[in-house]
Amino acid sequence: MLAKLFQVIPSISPVWSVGFMCACFGAASAAVLFSLLHRMTGSVLSGVFTSSVFAFSQSTWMWSITAEVFSLNNFFIVSLLWVTIQFSEQS
């Protein structure tokens, strides 16, 4: 169902749009991880380093350029961690 949102981009094939969706979720996972680590440590450098190691690791990179659901799973897990930290800071 999420792939349908990416198929509204004109003049691309459905296969390419699903691959593009996986790449976007992989990049979003790294961005949310950066935000989470920057919030937890207060250091931009640690956030950039750790999210870069995550984004450019072999398994994350491989599944972000393949039309699979693993990058979406990474995004959900990192977002869940972000929400958990946000909730724990408020209470």
Q: What is the pLDDT of residues 47-79, one digit of tens each?
A: 999 999 999 999 898 988 888 889 999 999 999
The three state secondary structure string of 64-90 is HCCCCCHHHHHHHHHHHHHHHHHHHHH
Least confident of 18-22, 37-41, 44-48: 18-22
Split into its structural domains, the chain has a count of 1
Band of residue 20 on the pLDDT scale cut at 50, 70, 90: confident
Q: Is 83 contained in some domain?
A: yes
Q: Is 65 contained in some domain?
A: yes
Which of the two residues, 79 and 91, has the higher pLDDT score?
Answer: 79
Q: Please name the helix (run of DSSP H) or strand (run of DSSP E) that holds residue 17, with its range, or none.
A: helix 14-41
Cα–Cα distance measured from residue 40 to residue 38, given in angstroms and rounded to the nearest whole number: 6
Q: Is 77 contained in some domain?
A: yes
Q: Is 7 contained in some domain?
A: no
Structural domain containing residue 34: 17-90
Q: Is the model's pLDDT at 1 over the cut of 70? A: no
3 class by beta-carbon count within 10 Å (0-12 exposed, 13-18 middle, 19+ buried): middle
Q: Is 5 contained in some domain?
A: no
Q: Is 70 contained in some domain?
A: yes
